[in-house]
Amino acid sequence: MDAAKYQGVIKRYFNYLPVGKNTPVITLLEGNTPLIFSGRLSEFLGRRFKVYLKFEGANPTGSFKDRGMTLAVSKAKEEKQVAVICASTGNTSASAAAYASRAGLKCIVLIPEGAIALGKLAQALIHQAVVIPIKGNFDTALSLVREISANYPVRLVNSLNPHRIEGQKTASFEICDTLGRAPDFHILPVGNAGNITAYWKGYKEYKAEGRIRRLPAMLGFQAKGACPIVKGRVFKHPKTLATAIRIGNPASWKKAEAARDQSKGLIDAVSDREIIKAYKMLALEGIFVEPASAASIAGLIKLKQQGYFKQPGRKEVVITCTLTGHGLKDPDIAVKSVRTPKSVSPDVKKILRIAKIKK
């Protein structure tokens, strides 16, 4: 793709989106993110397996939300709205704040008090959103913004807004366009369940258009302490260090189940320990993601260990994993998960000893 000509996901996939000539396109040139081949994970799975990582942390605000937000905010602008509102575990609010600022719209965000990562809070604040921390969790915040947007002139930009899903489905288009086919398996973290819904919609549309021949199995992963879809019950007090997916009652629950069942996939859970292990492993491959994103890779490892990926024959098996958000969003977890270095006096010998460098 010619970078000079790239104009964001709305322009690129115009014919697949509910937009027209009169839609003002509010874009930060989101999308067109790298699909990175992982030699180590491919080797770990075995011969014939190819694992690719869709690094959504490379979006303008550092997460996949930008794909949906460009559309939701452009449509809000087209429909003469003056304000947008969302509940968020952090990334939606960061993205909404940025795109609303660009569009000249007011942005209100409700966040669970003390439970969103520092980088995301900084984003919502610097873009001048009205940030309102709620004494309660994400699910409570979401029910409040649903009530407010239903009764007052503010447009909801959570993934209950269908434009968000429409925008986010462009990630599957990009994957198919890059690979020249659909993957056999697609793995991604599941929180409020909008993204798995969006990817599945995208793959189905490309198949209906004849752009791909087969559909992938959708494999979603929740955190063990916040896995309502896996357990089939609401989690009143969801718990996980992957704050982005600390959600106990996902809005798109039924649609996620439909994606799972129609694609013959699964939705399972991984522990925080498995998430952090995968998080550190990705970092060693040069890729810095936030913990929730590492749930994809933790899931991949878990399934491999369970012998899930048995594929008869000699055909190549392609697995894509979405890495939903950038590691810089949550610097606290990064620093806590490794040993912090001690400072030393400015002495060459000491430095050489610590760095284990010899002549």
* Chain residues that interact with ligand F0G, rule: CB under 6 A: 63, 88-92, 159, 189-195, 244-245, 290, 292-293, 324-325
To the nearest whole angstrom, how small is the minimum distance from the Cβ of residue 54 to ligand F0G? 12
Query: What is the distance between the alpha carbons of residues 209 and 6, in angstroms, rounded to a whole number?
Result: 23
Query: Which residues does residue 83 pair with via DSSP β-bridges, in sequence order?
Result: 106
User: Which CB atom, from 49 or from 299, has the smaller least distance to ligand F0G?
Assistant: 299
Longest dimension (CA), the chain: 72
Q: Least distance in Å: CB of 43 to ligand F0G? A: 26
Q: Cβ(16)–Cβ(204) under 8 Å? A: no
Sign of CA dihedral 275, 55, 289, 281: positive
User: Facing residues of 222 across strands?
Assistant: 269
Q: Considering beta carbons, is residue 49 or 199 the nearer one to ligand F0G?
A: 199
Q: Are 202 and 334 in contact (CB under 8 A)?
A: no
| Residue 188, beta-bridge partner list | 220
CB of 26 to ligand F0G, least distance (A): 19
Q: How far is the CB of 329 from ligand F0G (least distance, A)?
A: 7
Residue placing its CB nearer to ligand F0G in the complex, 14 or 162: 162
CB of 84 to ligand F0G, least distance (A): 14
**Looking at beta carbons only, is 259 or 318 nearer to ligand F0G?**
259
Cα separation, 75 vs 79, whole angstroms? 6
Nearest CB to ligand F0G, comparing residues 76 and 317 = 76
In whole angstroms, the minimum distance from the beta carbon of 165 to ligand F0G comes to 9
Q: Give yes or no for a contact between 134 and 109, defined as CB atoms under 8 angstroms apart.
A: no
d(CA 251, CA 257): 12
Of 174 and 317, CB closest to ligand F0G: 174
Q: How far is the CB of 116 from ligand F0G (least distance, A)?
A: 8
Instruction: Considering the complex, state which of residue 14 and residue 83 has its C-beta at the smaller distance from ligand F0G.
Output: 83
DSSP state of 209: T
Q: At 37, is the secondary structure helix, strand, or coil?
A: strand
Is-contact 191 244, C-beta < 8 A? yes
d(CA 180, CA 251): 32
Q: Which C-beta is closer to ligand F0G: that of 27 or that of 89?
A: 89
- Cβ 279 to ligand F0G, closest distance in Å? 12
For 9, the enclosing helix (H) or strand (E) is helix 9-12
Q: What is the DSSP string of 156-179?
A: E-STTSHHHHHHHTHHHHHHHHHH
CA 303 centroid distance within chain: 20
